[in-house]
A and B are shown apart, each in its own frame.
Chain A
């Protein structure tokens, strides 16, 4: 009970600061995922086209994923130095696997018959990609982004050791203070909350973009028209 009171007191004293770190933390995670999407989605499409590449790219992404976060940051620090950019780059690397893999799976799972009919209609390869494959794979790709964002929000906490700031700063300060339980919670709760909210919001997008739901509404409108 006392911890909860302390927690409330902490937020009342440092509300602005916590918000600042929350925002910073989110930005780091979001940049990581954004850059990973810029590289990962085209790469996923590429390996779905040239299947021989896929084991190479996927196992490389798999290997990256198995490196412990602290070790990854320590190695990157040697190359890139301290600071926020190093952390963003680490988050970028961790986001690659879910994004590449989901893009690859999404594109691969598009019904062969639909591709054929697209081709038969005289679409170019790019048109097939843009009008058939991508819309149908979008929900799966979004699921990849969702996983990546939740992972990076967690890992960004460790970025505090590279001097990047974020909610990890608050947690570390709590471990240094005498009675830091409330401070640790003050940093940990928003982190968990951010991950949950990110998951919910991305999940909503995922459902919105799902082609199957769209088809149902189309049937509805057709029925209504009839």
Chain B
């Protein structure tokens, strides 16, 4: 019996190995000429991922496979290192400085970018491209009504009101090292009377219909504009910059001629306001990221002039 059991296990394992190596018609392309692009679960990440995908498909004959909904920046990083993913479409300088590199946060955007570019090249043999042009930072956000009533302009203005403010926040931020909640309390010297951890996608609605007084929002989110929310100035420069770039593995860049130049065309093309707009297309108007990406690139003619 043991022999049979063993041979059964061997059959199953060899089948797994066979299957992981082959490509299924209709599902995945030939492994050699396929580039896997990884994205997070956010609309922003998926829009950028699809822009990268369409750019590659427009200029080369490589096939691109999307690997969506990776859980976090760390998961993205591990997928890149293990080779499951060749390009990650949205990497944020502040996040990866603290996460993948385990360094102290740096508040100067240019210096932060320079460091991640150098360190990723040396440590991981990956190229960190120049920023797309938008900065997806955290920002304390209130309704315009509350801002006008209490004359709020910057984050420090919140301090006298803090005892009766409800604060809605992404749960990962509360426990994050460095630029998380503890760091914030240290820098600004106050904490909110009660925090409500929630999905980041819910904070905008919560602020707009008065369920929360202050929320921690993303600066590129289109709903800030759509719901007429006010972003408070980070007067102590507590949050490090989150300039957004794509990161590619060097062996993939070498394997596909001219790929680096194609991807570099996207540098500096999408300012924060544009990203807000694109995000609103997806989050507010319910258009799928892949379609938003296609329309954006067609509008700009795939940046062919350069």
Contact status B291-A163, CB under 8 Å: no
Find chain A residues with CB under 8 A from B27 CB: 24, 27-28, 31, 84, 88
Q: Does A118 contact B (CB under 8 A)?
A: no
Is B204's beta carbon under 8 Å from chain A? yes
With a CB–CB cut-off of 8 A, which chain B residues contact A151? none
Those of A35-71 within 8 Å (CB) of chain B = 35, 39, 53, 56-57, 60
Q: Does A204 contact B (CB under 8 A)?
A: no
Contact, CB under 8 Å: A89 / B204: no
The answer to whether A163 touches B67 (Cβ under 8 A) is: yes
A164 to B291 CA separation, bound complex (whole angstroms): 19
Chain B residues closer than 8 Å to A9, beta-carbon distance: 286
Within 8 Å of chain A (Cβ to Cβ): is B84?
yes
Q: How far is the CB of B228 from chain A (nearest CB, A)?
A: 14
Which residues of A, 113-145, contact B by the 8 Å Cβ criterion?
none
Q: Kindly state whether residue B223 has any CB partner on chain A within 8 Å.
A: yes
Q: Is B24's CB under 8 angstroms from A27's CB?
A: yes
Query: Measured between C-beta atoms, what is the minimum distance from B170 to chain A in Å?
Result: 12
| Nearest A-chain residue to B79, judged by Cβ | A82
CB <8 Å contact, A13 and B205:
no
Residues of chain B within 8 A (CB-CB) of A6 are 286
Q: How far is the CA of A30 from the CA of B8 in the complex (A)?
A: 23
**Contact partners of B291 in chain A: CB under 8 A:** 13-14, 16-17
Minimum Cβ distance to chain A for residue B50 (Å): 10
Q: What would 16 A/B residue contacts be, using CB atoms closer than 8 Å?
A: A9-B286, A14-B291, A16-B291, A24-B26, A81-B83, A82-B84, A83-B67, A92-B15, A163-B70, A165-B66, A165-B68, A175-B199, A176-B41, A178-B223, A178-B284, A179-B205
Chain A residues close to B by CB (< 8 Å): 6, 9-10, 13-14, 16-17, 23-24, 27-28, 31, 35, 39, 53, 56-57, 60, 76, 79-86, 88-89, 92, 160-161, 163, 165, 169-170, 172-173, 175-180, 182-183
9 closest cross-chain pairs (CB), A and B: A163-B67, A82-B84, A81-B84, A80-B20, A14-B288, A17-B288, A178-B205, A176-B201, A84-B27
Interface residues of B (CB under 8 A from A): 1, 4-5, 8, 11, 15-16, 19-20, 22, 24, 26-28, 36, 38, 41-43, 46, 65-71, 79, 82-85, 199, 201-202, 204-205, 223, 282-291
